[in-house]
Amino acid sequence: MLIQAAAARWRCPVTECEARQGQVLHKPSNRSFAFADLAEDAAKMPPPKNVPLKSAQDWTLIGRPRHRLDSRAKIEGRPLFGIDIRVPDMKHATVAACPVMGGTVGEIDRDAALRVPGVTDVLTIDNAVCVVADHYWAAKKGLEALAIVWREGANASVDTARIYRELHDGLSEAHPIVAQSQGDTTTAFDRADARFEATYQQPLLAHSTMEPINCTIHVRPDGADVWVGTQVPLRARDSVASISGLPKEKVHLHSQYIGGGFGRRLEHEYVIQAAQFARQVPYPLKIVWSREEDLMLDRFRPAYVDRVRAGLDHQGRVQSMEFRVVGPAVVARWAPEGLSPNGFDSDLGGGILETPYTYPASRLEFVRREAPGVVTAWWRGVGGTRGLFVVESFIDELAHRANADPVAYRRALIQGHPRARTVLDLAAEKSGWGTSLPKGHGRGVSVQFLFRSYLATVVEVDMSMPGQIRIVRVTVAADCGQPVNPDQIRAQIEGGVIFGLGAALFNEITLKGGRVQEDNFNLWRILRMNEAPQIDTHLVDSTETPGGVGEAGTAAAAPALANAIAAASGRRLRTLPLMPGVEAA
Amino acid sequence: MRHSFLILGVVGLMLAAVTTACAATQGQSDPDLIKRGQYLARLADCEACHTAPGGVPFAGGRPFAVPPMGTMYSSNITPDTQYGIGQWTDAQFVRSVRRGISPHWKHLFPAMPYQDYARMSPDDVLAIRAYIATVQPVARKVPSNTGIFQFNIIRPGMFGWDLFNGPSSSYPDDPKQSADWNRGRWLVEGPGHCAECHSPRTLTMGVSHRHAYAGAVTAGWLAYNLTSDPESGIGSWTDEALATYLTTGHADGHGTAAGPMAEAISYSLRFMTKEDAAAMVTYLRTIPAQPVKPPKKASDAFSPAALKHGEMLFAGACAGCHLENGIGRQVVSASIAGGHTLRDPDGLNLLQVLIEGSRLTTATGNADMPRFGAGYSDRDLADIAAYTMITLGGTQPAFDTDAVKAARKGK
């Protein structure tokens, strides 16, 4: 349409015009118009029915590495994120909510908080207290001075053991939801030459984003403004409207950069909380949660228990595959309409139904067990991260039982997904799969088809020192369809792998007395730069429809690592996190 | 005091003496008396033991675990008339503090260091009473003792224990010594009750006088040798370093107080006047030197790869505050280079502080060491400790990963 506008203005054929670098160029005369100059004319034209796409050889942007436009601003620490917001007359605040879910505010020493220099107000709602001050430190000291006594409620008895016990009980549920059934798994299992079964357990996880939860909000009789990092701006706006009593069009949400989301910003309960406080005061209120509050009051990736059963032929090849998943259905809370009619959360099919593998018979059962004492939510890689650990660990165990090479075993299982074979072969080649390793080292592999992208990952570990896992190297081969910015793809895969490795090694949220115990990074460990392995990412040159990569690396990390540990030590770890399991040796 | 002790099998006869106690209430509202009482209460460190972790001051409920025998809980000593000591007479209070006998003639367990507090005069104790009467009353029942401590039947055994290890009375000043020395002795051996932690125990679990202040392990922490020995004691410390350490919890080149010592400073020692701190130093200087423990054989648990691992973890988890060279960033309490803790080859306190963390309260706020025990493995913590000890303490470690396991249990 821009080209048409230019051609009309120059009164020449459209074939003589070319768009590039924000301009339309008339090739014969070398005249040009900027897009901006043509926009108004173009807007008046009817949209064309058939748009000819530029052929790949003419592309100048797609497929080439480019720097992100915002890299410089981030490096320079410019105010991009929600936490950076400054508005006139703004006051700073921090909050504490009852650390036990469902609890309420009992006693507070309001006067003690107000005596802290800089503290100007103390606001309460049913389950949280907010201290307002001239600056954050005063608000934090004021919050401490409150000496809050909570009425903890029924969830004060929840601990981690109970959560896991309820999940394991689900394995014997007589009437599971059948999410998928293909072929006759029961008969195939009964007739199999051999059978194998394993149970896997995964913990509650926090998002632990770099930027803690924050929200700046101003509620006035005539309207409201909200400055916040969120992935669900319309939901957040609607909630503020509801709480303040304002019509939706009077609430303006100014969406900000997010300093790490990983699923946490798909929730907006912190905006609701902020609105409940902000409507009590006339000035803009900037609420920042402390790191402790951010970790303890997170909405957690649920804990799950999975059981897998396979019927095998005499050579160890799969004849039937049965999966049972026990845990929460996150979609039931977040978007109830997304739950299938029989109660299945399709996200839980990630890695299991969404897979490059083909089985003669397969079945997926789901037993819904909502977690007591915590709110559960999505976490980076969502169902794929959860499911892939189960599938790829199990496939590796089957390969081991068949005395087969894990790569070869997987290759044979991949039917109708040539791109999966390609990445598997590429990762094997680039990682030196099959070549000899030093004593105490091991390699593990995983293959995935998630987010419409194919990845194969090889992790090499060094376990020559007792009680220690050192990750030597990670090799990833990825086919995500037509690359747009290859550098960004590599960066996202690397980031995802690091995120996933740290969680797999160290992370578990535990509850005691209904309270989350991991409140800062001394107890909730993050893989640091000096612990990060070398990560080599190899992109397949592809022209297929682009798929997602932002979360793919996260999903790949745990299974490849667990498989590497098994190869290095001979010990199969079926419970995450892995490091405690190693120490238990 | 937070030491373990064995219960004697001696069943002593309870004294049947009946004393009619008339409560003397005069002076209860005297501001000077209350102020003196507050100072003495701080010297005696009452608040630390009679406050549950994160709890209300003086409301009791702090656990004292004596595995495998059970757990005692400190009592509520607020003025509350139902759950506290609001209805106690002054004479009853004095008897509890100085003789370890409660109003119902129950012998207290020596977790309450009445054997040291006996050096305070009745007037001193009554001043403390006057101060505690001004504390907010808290109507809160403390948890009941568990294990053998829930049975009153063992309390008469305390009578026998007291015969061997019980309170002595105030003693006169030594005329051969200076007023400072005498004041210092009173502080150290009386309300400060330093020997309870810093002296080893006898067979009957009383404080050893033969090895007074020679150092001891209490609740998993090593309370250092306070004698004038230049190597293992405080002989090489300057007076200034000692006084600074006692009143702020830190001395450059010696380290930062942690664990129970951090508590003692946070609740007690930092409130001392300069004169009292100087007096305490004067007395400590004269404690006879105790012989140096023979050095332990260096451990073979730390290969170069292990130390490399420790270095990597130190860089990630520790260097942010302590810096690579251990001189600390921004606050003196983060300075650990050359510290006493890093020169104990057994690494008792180093491992404890890594596992449990520590909080030190000073005039300028809290200095917190986070706890790393639940976030790191035994191997991780051992390697961090070994690397730190070798690099910043110039000492070869004598511990291994089993010491980490033991330290975890000790808490």
Question: What are the two backbone dihedrals, phi and then psi, of residue A565, each rounded to the nearest 5 degrees?
Answer: -65, -40
Q: What residue spans define the domains of chain B?
A: 27-164, 191-284, 304-408
* Model ipTM value: 0.82
Which residue of B lies nearest to A527 if distances are taken between CA atoms? Answer: B316
Residue A338 near residue A345 (C-beta atoms within 8 A): yes
Query: pLDDT at residue B11 above 70?
Result: no
Chain A residue numbers touching B402 (CB-CB < 8 A): none
- Chain A and chain B share a number of CB contacts under 8 A equal to 51
Chain B residue numbers touching A580 (CB-CB < 8 A): 377
The predicted-structure confidence for A341-399, as pLDDT tens digits, reads as follows 999 999 999 999 999 999 999 999 999 999 999 999 999 999 999 999 999 999 999 99
A51-71 per-residue burial string, b: 16 or more CB within 10 A, e: under 16: eeeeeeeeeeeeeeeeeeeee
Cα separation, A410 vs A421, in Å, equals 9
Q: What is the mean pLDDT of residues B320-342?
A: 91
The predicted-structure confidence for A273-323, as pLDDT tens digits, reads as follows 999 999 999 999 999 999 999 999 999 999 999 999 999 999 999 999 999
DSSP A209-278: -SSPPEEEEEEETTEEEEEE--S-HHHHHHHHHHHHT--GGGEEEEE-B-S--TTGGG--HHHHHHHHHH
What mean pLDDT, rounded, does chain A reach?
A: 95
Local structure of residue A423 (DSSP, 8 states): H
Q: Which of A523, A531, A583 sits opposite B375 (nearest CB)?
A: A523
Report yes or no: B253 at the A interface, CB cutoff 8 Å: no
pLDDT-derived band at B292 (thresholds 50, 70, 90) equals low
pLDDT-derived band at A269 (thresholds 50, 70, 90) equals very high
Query: pLDDT at residue B12 above 70?
Result: no
Which residue of B lies nearest to A522 if distances are taken between CA atoms? Answer: B372
Q: Which residues contact A561 (CB under 8 A, 6 or more apart)?
A: A444, A459, A461, A471, A501, A504, A505, A578
Report yes or no: B10 at the A interface, CB cutoff 8 Å: no
Cα separation, A462 vs A468, in Å, equals 8
Which residue of A lies nearest to B303 if distances are taken between CA atoms? Answer: A465
Does the annotation list B322 as a binding residue? yes
Taking residue B36's Cβ as centre, other Cβ atoms within 10 Å add up to 18
Whole-number pLDDT of residue B158: 81
Which residue of B lies nearest to A463 if distances are taken between CA atoms? Answer: B305
pLDDT-derived band at A537 (thresholds 50, 70, 90) equals very high
Does the annotation list B22 as a binding residue? no
Whole-number pLDDT of residue A155: 97
Q: Which of B303, B371, B379 sits opposite A583 (nearest CB)?
A: B379
Cα A11 to Cα A1, A4, A29, A37, A46: the distances in Å are 15, 10, 13, 16, 18
Whole-number pLDDT of residue B1: 38
pLDDT higher at B294 or A569: A569
Taking residue B323's Cβ as centre, other Cβ atoms within 10 Å add up to 16
Query: pLDDT at residue B43 above 70?
Result: yes
A144: closest CA of chain B, how far (Å): 11
Question: What are the two backbone dihedrals, phi and then psi, of residue B156, each rounded to the nearest 5 degrees?
Answer: -60, -25
Angle CA A239–A242–A248, to nearest 5: 85
Alpha helices in A507-574 (DSSP H): 552-569
Q: Strand pairing partners for A202?
A: A304
Residue A578 near residue A203 (C-beta atoms within 8 A): no
A350 by Cβ neighbours in 10 Å (0-12 / 13-18 / 19+) ranks as: buried
Query: pLDDT at residue A425 above 50?
Result: yes
The predicted-structure confidence for A44-97, as pLDDT tens digits, reads as follows 988 888 888 888 888 889 999 999 999 999 999 999 999 999 999 999 999 999
B180: closest CA of chain A, how far (Å): 39
Q: Which of A394-398, B18-22, B309-313 has the highest mean pLDDT?
A: A394-398
Cα separation, A304 vs A8, in Å, equals 62
The predicted-structure confidence for A39-51, as pLDDT tens digits, reads as follows 999 999 888 888 8
B366: closest CA of chain A, how far (Å): 12
DSSP A361-383: SEEEEEEE-PPTTS-B---TTHH
Whole-number pLDDT of residue B9: 30
Query: pLDDT at residue B3 above 90?
Result: no
CATH class of B304-408: mainly alpha
pLDDT-derived band at A582 (thresholds 50, 70, 90) equals low
| Strand A362-368, strand B365-369: pairing | unpaired
Whole-number pLDDT of residue B24: 41
B403: closest CA of chain A, how far (Å): 15
Copy the structure tokens of residue A197. Answer: 């079964």
The predicted-structure confidence for B147-164, as pLDDT tens digits, reads as follows 888 877 677 788 888 877
The predicted-structure confidence for A428-469, as pLDDT tens digits, reads as follows 999 999 999 999 999 999 999 999 999 999 999 999 887 789
Does the annotation list B318 as a binding residue? yes
Alpha helices in A373-530 (DSSP H): 382-401, 406-413, 418-431, 486-506
Query: pLDDT at residue B14 above 70?
Result: no
Chain A residue numbers touching B378 (CB-CB < 8 A): 467, 583
- Residue A7 backbone zone (phi > 0: left; psi -120 to 50: alpha; other: beta): alpha
pLDDT higher at B158 or A330: A330
Report yes or no: B378 at the A interface, CB cutoff 8 Å: yes
B378: closest CA of chain A, how far (Å): 7
